[in-house]
Structure 1
Amino acid sequence: MYLAYDYPLLGAFWTMFWFFLWVLWFILLFRIITDIFRDKEMNGWGKAGWLVFVILLPFLGVLVYVIARGKNMGRREIAQAREQQREFDAYIRETASGDTRRSHAEELTKLSELRSRGEITDEEFARAKALILNDDPPSTSSGPTGTTPPAADR
């Protein structure tokens, strides 16, 4: 019952402050360890040295690392995030399009069927074939969405 009187408000503030700094230091420590492994320019011995320094003398190691290499930590993180985004976008494009060779062959087959039935002219066939083989977007817009539908879908 007397615990509240034995622990004043300022003591609770300082306890929360030091706990917050301790958590903040751990977050910084893990970001530094991640940055050490992320750096492609540093060789293995450099990474091992920094890891030993940061782990054996944690407070001094973190402080020295932030002073010595902290300027480029953000740049490396941004470069890694951009690389991940590029890889993700490439994966999405690849997954959404399926096997491009097979889809090109299927589109060309549909085009030749349309031409043989007389639904498209030879000029339209040649233009659509060039678009498929070059993977170029159509240059004219005639559809309601602003894009020209492929000749195979007409």
Structure 2
Amino acid sequence: MDHPVLEAFWMMLWFFLWIMWLFLLFRIVGDLFRDHELSGWWKALWLFGLLVLPFLGVLLYLIVRGRSMTERSVRSAQEKEQQFQAYVRQAAASEQSAGGDSVEQLSKLSELKRNGDLSQAEFDQAKARLLA
């Protein structure tokens, strides 16, 4: 008897496993080229093994270099986070200094207007120039 539901299940399972294997393969190749400690010959040998014996090559790579692969990934994520935090601090500092200057100047302008040293038109013109 033919069971189309069972055949569809097996086809989906094999397709899912194939997609998982592709993700692992791309992750491993990316890890190979990101690793600065591994020599070019070892990278070429691993890549050759992944191309000639793809399933066995992926499994061997995960067994032999899986732990260091995770460590490199964590280190890379921490470096990116530090760079992002430094960028945010730099952007916030430049924005604060630029914003502080314009706030200071606006308060001086309003003081001059209040004292009668500036007319409303002059105040509006100087304010527009500051905010532009």
Q: State whether TM-score is above 0.5.
A: yes
**Distance in 1, Cα, partners of 2:50 & 2:88:** 39
Per the normalisation by structure 1, the TM-score is 0.56
Percent pairwise identity: 51
Q: Indicate which of 9, 31, 40 corresponds to 1:13.
A: 9
CA-to-aligned-CA distance 1:5-57 (integer Å, 9 cap, x gap): 96521111111110010001001101111111222211222222212221232
- Kindly tell me the number of residue pairs found equivalent between the two proteins: 99
Query: 1:147 corresponds to which residue?
Result: none
Structure 1 segments (4+ residues) deviating >4 Å: none
SS in 2 for 1:11: helix
Q: CA RMSD in A?
A: 2.3
Per the normalisation by structure 2, the TM-score is 0.65
Residues 95 and 48 (structure 1), Cα distance of their counterparts in 2 relative to 1, 3 Å cut? farther
What are the residue-to-residue correspondences of 1:1-154 with 2, within 5 Å? 8-98=4-94
Question: Higher helix proportion, which one?
Answer: 2
Equivalent residue letter for 1:40: H
Q: Compare 71-80 and 19-28 and name the one that shifted more.
A: 71-80
